[in-house]
Amino acid sequence: MSRVLIECVPNFSEGRNPEVISMITKPIIDSPDVDLLDVDMGYDFNRTVVTMVGEPEAVLRAAIECTSIAVEMIDMRSHSGEHARMGAVDVVPFIPLRGSSMGECVKLSERYAESVSEQLGLPVYMYAEAARDSQRVRLPDIRKGEYEGMKKKMMSDGWAPDYGPSVFPESMGVTAAGARQILIAYNVNLNTDDKKIANSIASKIRTSGSLLRDENGDKVIGKDGNPMRTPGKFQSLQAAGWMFDEDTAQVSMNLLDHSVTGLHDVTETIRTEAEKLGYSVTGSELVGLVPLDAMLSAGKKYLGAPNNANELDLVNSAISGLSLNEFGEFVPQTSIIEWAISGGEYNE
């Protein structure tokens, strides 16, 4: 019988000190029942995304141990970076893979939150499928205000944490934990150093769209008292404009359901929107690992005769079409979840 497997993708607010990340990830490496599939450090973001896969109880233990080390090693009072953040351990999602369910992952996230809040005094908000309040389903809603505004936010009505103290711990900040489907973190780079260009494109494609403004540029307020929005093109998509480096703006995205909105869909739309503004796409990158189905779907879009192609043909077509090799080699054997778990094996 195959092992029951779940994935956990904790995000740590440290992307510049490899020694710190090495210490944080040591419990994963030391566990015989957990595989460390990826460690993606971002210097400008000052953030590291870690991907581990393994048996549920072993993954839970590793996540708790990594959190304990991280809050000791990372001091949020001196942290800065391009990516939005609210804590040393910013978010810890549990994701069902083989033989596991969303309900089981919700329970694991709750046990994680209970443990780290009791052991470390860490405030935890439950999000996604584990959310206990409608305004906490979306991670950006919880993170709004970021680390600098979280102390005041925690004291406002409706924003006491689900677990842990309501007193803001300045050195470690707060954490979000939850359960969700596989999320693809995907970034597309543009040949401009103007972040506004990336923001403009992001607002056109993301599900939440953009704020509706009148002829004076003021926000249009609806009957419910909230700002009105123009919906974006795609469903199940979060997007924002960031800087990849000082010379390169980036449309940074989370594809929440790649069967609804795929890698090819967003890439080609960004290319079109960039060209309208006089710019072009210079490459793309995947942060963490990607499910095989997402790459096969993109490969079928780019390959002329997909019916006769094997998995590797389709993946190579996706890599080329998405420009994944422009800023560094994309290694499918270690970057695709199913292939990484199987030691790099794929179907001919």
- Picking from 323, 175, 334, 316, the residue whose alpha carbon sits closest to that of residue 251 is 323
Structure tokens at 275: 């060209």
**Pick the catalytic residue: 79, 83, 258, 264?**
83
Question: Within 10 A of 331 (CB to CB), how many other CB atoms are there?
Answer: 13
Q: Is 264 a catalytic residue?
A: no
Query: C-alpha angle 263/99/179, rounded to 5°?
Result: 60
3-state SS record for 18-40? HHHHHHHHHHHHHCCCEEEEEEE
Q: Which residues are catalytic?
A: 83
